[in-house]
Amino acid sequence: MKIDRFTRAVVLLNCTVPVALLGWDAWGGRLGANPVNFAIRTTGILSLIFLVLSLTVTPASRITGWGWLGQFRRMLGLYAFFHAALHFLLFFAFDRAGDVRDTASEMAKRPYLLVGTVGLVLMIPLAATSTNRMIKRLGPARWKALHRLAYLAATAGVLHFYMLVKADTSRPIGFATALGVLFLYRLAAHYIRLRHDARTSRSAPTAQHASRPRPWAGPLKVAQVFDEAAEVRTFRFVSTTGSRLPFDFLPGQYLNLTLSIDGMTVRRSYTIASSPSRAAYCELTIKREHRGLASRHLHDAIREGCVLDVRAPAGKFTFTGMEAESIVLIGGGVGITPLMAKIRYLTDLSWPGDIDLVFCVKTETDIIFRDELAFLARRHPNLRVTITLTRDEGPRWTGERGRISGAMLGRVVPQIADRRVHLCGPTEMVEATRSILRELGVPDGSILVESFTSPSRDPSPVASATRRNAATTVAMDPGTGDASIRFTRSHKSGPVDVDQTVLDAAEALGVSINYDCRAGICGECKVRRLAGHVVMDAEDALTTTDRENDVILSCQARCIDHVEVDA
């Protein structure tokens, strides 16, 4: 969850309140008999409070699962530095009258002043590298290593406080106890991570992925970027902290990226193309779509070393080899990605069952993973690869030509009626192929599909006029007039743009709607439409009952008039 500007402003204001009250009391002469000493002590304690709070953010977010807490860590750390610097400046300007020589002499006489100064000096590089630009310049690993100095700075601050007081040491001991608990948590978490990595490296991939993985959210770093085909790139992601990914996944699952594009927060789901047996990384293979906001940003702006916010894994379009004795994989275009994850996983395990891949693309230059598929087919005789071209008329191509047909499948896939089939590609291709499979005698229960609508494809007037909206056929084009939305339970409303989904509008207005994939697959974002009309590019997660009850997928639905939603 990304914290909005208002929430940040509220937290910022509350963090400013203590020093503002101190300044107000100083202006009114209400700081007691020794106002300078009171101000120095107060700013020092405030610095320790904010420093300990900043160190508490990471353990708290991991224990509670509230990843959004991490967005306040740097803010709290900067307030800690601000109060520490103010603490020293008050001492230098008022207690020592701004005399450098006198200040140095006093520090030489009193060791607690030296210890406190060391703590302040340690905080200077932390404050100087607190910006996103500095994180990118240093790299996540070096930045994290540098910011472990916060523990040394906090230790110096607590020791400084303890050495300063002469009688009542309860408050410095309280800070020391809190810091000790944070140290123990860090050590325990590091030990558990090492044990987990050791067990994972010894365990077999089948054991590792026997159960459905638990969800995870956090940052991943782009380690490498590969060109695969025309306008298709693979982005390899690795952990920012450990030697393996901080989550497990099944072959065919996807992850969700949160991107910042031109000041907007954009979330997109992409299938993981790599094998779960390669636990050190995961790969997304993404085509640059002309009208794809996220895909264009990834291709144009994301380079090695970039760190992105990720939620993973999700999706039920999976196959581990335990579900059937053989598998038929049919893909169109970039829909090869979840199928490739399954091929890589099964061949990594030397799975003995038959694997038949039928891959449909426009031209030879569009064949993603061509060399790797040829290599795997040579090495694993149980993998048979059939590639068909729909537009390439060149004489060099000796393989299949034309769209996938019943005759082609009957010829290249033995006994397909008795096989389990996984199908992924553009929505039109998926629906046409599913009908062909039914004609060939493949039961619906043996067909698992995942489809998508390419944002680069401009809908024709016919297609626009027949898009399904719940149980109603809408004879309208999106964007032909002013559109707006009203969330009835939240009592919020506003205009919507032609490319803005109901979920986008909800986030902009501060309305909470659960979601996961943002691709129309998982069904987490279902809401009931009370009035108006919407169009949806993907509806895979909707059942017949959903359509009869005017349920829509908020991540896919775009308003074409005034829409009311029960949310």
CB 315 within 8 A of CB 252: yes
Residues constituting the chain:
567
The domains of the chain are located at 5-190, 216-314, 326-452, 464-566
Model pTM score: 0.54
Omega prior to 338 cis, within 30 of 0: no
123 closest CA partner among 207, 54, 56, 38: 54
Amino acid at residue number 135: I
Q: What is the pLDDT of residues 484-516, one digit of tens each?
A: 999 999 999 999 987 788 998 998 898 988 876
CB 536 within 8 A of CB 468: yes
The residue whose two tokens read 């610097």 is 85
**What homologous superfamily does CATH list for 464-566?**
Beta-grasp domain (3.10.20.30)
According to DSSP, the β-strands at 447-452 and 421-426 are parallel
* Displacement of CA 316 from its chain's centroid (Å): 18
CB 243 within 8 A of CB 262: no
CB 373 within 8 A of CB 356: no
User: Would you call 73 exposed, middle or buried from its count of C-beta atoms within 10 A (0-12, 13-18, 19+)?
Assistant: buried
Q: What topology is assigned to 216-314 in CATH?
A: Elongation Factor Tu (Ef-tu); domain 3 (2.40.30)
Three-state secondary structure call for residue 351: coil
Q: How much is the pLDDT for 345?
A: 96
Q: How much is the pLDDT for 466?
A: 30
Q: How many CB atoms lie within 10 A of CB 398?
A: 6
| Regions in the chain scoring below 70 on pLDDT | 1-4, 62, 65-68, 70, 132, 135-136, 139-141, 193, 195-212, 452-481, 516-517, 519-522, 537-538, 540
Rounded Cα gap, residues 103 and 97, in angstroms? 9
- Token readout for 444 is 């619906």
Q: How much is the pLDDT for 521?
A: 67
439: left (phi over 0), alpha (psi -120 to 50) or beta: alpha
Amino acid at residue number 315: G
- Please state, in angstroms and as integers, the Cα–Cα distance from residue 439 to each residue in 197, 246, 420, 428, 556, following that order: 48, 44, 15, 17, 30
According to DSSP, the β-strands at 468-469 and 472-473 are antiparallel
216-314 against 464-566: fold identical = no
The residue whose two tokens read 């949160």 is 258
Rounded Cα gap, residues 349 and 161, in angstroms? 59
CB 244 within 8 A of CB 195: no
The DSSP 8-state label assigned to residue 381 in this structure reads T
Q: How much is the pLDDT for 452?
A: 67
Q: How much is the pLDDT for 312?
A: 86
According to DSSP, the β-strands at 562-566 and 483-487 are parallel
* 326-452 CATH: 3.40.50.80
Amino acid at residue number 65: G
